[in-house]
Amino acid sequence: MALTPQWLDELRSRITLSGVIGRTTRIQKAGREFKACCPFHNEKSPSFTINDEKGFYHCFGCGAHGDVIRWMTDQRGLSFMDAVKQLAEEAGMEVPAADPHTARLSAQRAEQAKTLHDVMAAAQDWFAANLAGPEGAEARAYLATRGFSAEVCRQFGFGYAPEGRQALKGALDRFPEAMLVEAGLRIAVEEREPYDRFRGRLMLPIQDARGRVIAFGGRILSAQKTDAPKYLNSPDTPLFDKGRTLYNLHRAAPIARQSGRLLVVEGYMDAIALSAASFGDCVAPLGTALTETQIELLWRQVPAPILCFDGDKAGLRAAAKAMVRALPLLRPGHSLRVLSLPAGQDPDELLKARGPQAMDALLEGAQGLADALWQHERDALPLAGPEDKAGLKARLMAHVDAIAHPDIKALYRREWLDRYGEFAFARPERPAPAPRPQARSGGGRRGSWRDAPPPAPLPETAARLARPAASVAGRARAITMVVLGLMRNPAALARLAEPLARLAPEEPRIDALLDALDYGLPLEGADIATIFAGRALAEPSLPGPREAVFAFVAESGEAAMAELAEVVAVLVERPAIEEALAQAQARFEAELTEEAGEEVTRLRTLLLALQKRELDLNARLGQMATGNADRATGTGPEAAGADAGNKMAE
């Protein structure tokens, strides 16, 4: 389809944005605009505004912003094309096609889908009428045993398919046989008369993201029927693809965007039970393991949906399959959480036994994906011997290899190897040694060795122990020079915002400058002094004439900013590399694996390269000291290095 900007602008102009948003969100008139509590995050006072003249909405709390199409995709959960089609239908516009042939095929498909939707709507009306009639007594009794109120039954559209192989055909005789078969309501076999698919079953409509009936699920009612499946869903049709559909999504999506939570249960009866207990942000797959498409659908609503499968073996297997299937799809900010239900219970049974408060408590303790998959693999098989433990590591690393995103893969590898090392190489606790009897002091006898003062450290050890204090002082001095450099070169703030943010906890003046940058405040000359004064911060003192400083403290321009960027990088990178090296060394000592050893070597190489950069910077600092001393005293190089020895990182 060819959707030109002009056509989309015409579509937006024909739709009143406040009218569309007002269908699902309570809005209030506020002058020429409308206001509401934001549907994208929880808030008590309204910060969400709607401007019909400009055609956009904006939340000053969370930053949500968009037009009517963005609203339909982000808040209603539709795809872009589905949103455009629905809005075009409301606006009385034809969605253009790319070429005449495509247009003709699209028109045919649209007409076919429209007709099939009519068939499904008529079937739903008939099923609902049957439930209310004499034939639906058994189905109504079953719903009563489940505790579903009349309002819940009406909301979810429960119905009843009576016994009889031709009952539906007789009720929907205005539609041709081929259409009933294509809609999945009838079954056609060779050399036999077609017959109704659903017979003697409690019926439940399955709806798309727009709330239209596209399929049905049926539960058998007679306990004597052992030759038929307990639950039966429609087959895949032009309207319905079970791997791309989530039951109850059209109801749950708006609620999930407000609550920030979306529950995924095994079946639609569990979803209805949770919804009836005020957990409306609940969906279910349809008879299959959670698919990649369904996971993406979930992520379009919330970043971390919660798997809430039954506590039996089948439920645990389904959760494990979903977790493994999600691994290649993981991306920053998007994952799964897993809720462990009590053994043998499903959500409906838990609600009946312990109430909604118990479900709330379990939801608060839902595990992250890394924790849940680690626990699943650890508990999957006995881990008695070394071979069993090696098998655990192999399974974990196979999961890591399935992750496509490089950063997430590296983090999962490190997380699981750390846990594996603690688990597989844990040393048994040894009993505390018995205390030694101490020799009595006095009477000319020597006291216990514990009473003796510790020996003085060797000179080399003393120098090494004293170095951290000097290093801290040198680092603080270097950070102060960075502040002076930023005052001289404020344009560097935007360029170096990310690494500077990691120095901000150490230097409140850098934090103040970054806040000013975020708020768009001026950052020239006296403006910076005003920013510091507003935070009760003193301006850093300018260096004396004999003090060694970097060029960027006194100069501006590209060369100065390049040197400033290099100093900031060294200040940020060294603590990170040293911390990573310490962790890698500890992991190597615990695991004694080739992989852990390679990581230690890699980090040591990085640290050596960083130390070389520090030496180069310190040499440059010494040259600056020489120049400053010459200018201050008129003497030669002999006055130079006095202060240069106090280097930035020692």
Residue 208: helix, strand or coil by DSSP? coil
The type of residue at 633 is: T
109-118, 263-272, 415-424, 472-481, range with the lowest pLDDT: 109-118
Residue 222 confidence (pLDDT): 79
pLDDT tens per residue across span 356-409: 999 999 999 899 999 999 999 999 888 888 899 999 999 999 999 999 999 999
Rounded CA separation 621/553 (Å): 12
Residue 167 confidence (pLDDT): 93
Instruction: Give this prediction's pTM.
Output: 0.55
pLDDT top residue among 471 and 487: 487
**Contact at 8 Å (CB) between 336 and 292?**
no
Rounded CA separation 515/513 (Å): 5
Residue 44 confidence (pLDDT): 80
Mean pLDDT of the chain: 81
Residue 189 confidence (pLDDT): 86
Whether 458 shows a pLDDT value over 70: the answer reads no
Q: What is the dihedral of CA 263, 268, 273, 277, to 10 degrees?
A: 40
What DSSP character marks residue 166?
A: T
pLDDT top residue among 261 and 623: 261
Most confident of the ranges 83-87, 335-339, 569-573, 576-580: 335-339
Write the CB contacts of 596 (distance below 8 Å, at least 6 apart in sequence): 417, 584, 587, 588
What DSSP character marks residue 121?
A: H
Residue 113 confidence (pLDDT): 54
Average pLDDT over residues 271-292: 90
pLDDT top residue among 534 and 85: 85
CATH fold of 102-240, please?
DNA primase DNAg catalytic core, N-terminal domain (3.90.980)
Residue 232: helix, strand or coil by DSSP? strand
Whether 233 shows a pLDDT value over 50: the answer reads yes
Instruction: Give me the architecture of the 249-404 domain, per CATH.
Output: 3-Layer(aba) Sandwich (3.40)
| CATH topology agreement for domains 102-240 and 249-404 | no
| DSSP β-bridge partners for residue 368 | 337
Whether 76 shows a pLDDT value over 50: the answer reads yes
Average pLDDT over residues 439-444: 42
Whether 645 shows a pLDDT value over 50: the answer reads no
Whether 252 shows a pLDDT value over 80: the answer reads yes
Work out the percent of the chain whose per-residue pLDDT is above 70.
Answer: 83
Distances (CA, A) of 449 to 199, 329, 433: 91, 63, 17
Residue 431 confidence (pLDDT): 55
Report residue 568 as tokens: 């900031």
Q: How many CB atoms lie within 10 A of CB 535?
A: 12
Confidence category of residue 558, pLDDT binned at 50, 70, 90: confident
pLDDT tens per residue across span 133-151: 999 999 999 999 988 999 9
Residue 450 confidence (pLDDT): 36
Among residues 230, 277, 296, 282, the alpha carbon closest in space to that of 253 is found at 282
Residue 142 confidence (pLDDT): 92
Residue 396 confidence (pLDDT): 94
Domain positions in the chain are 5-91, 102-240, 249-404, 464-639
pLDDT top residue among 267 and 575: 267
CATH fold of 5-91, please?
DNA Primase; Chain A (3.90.580)
Whether 503 shows a pLDDT value over 50: the answer reads yes
Average pLDDT over residues 553-569: 84
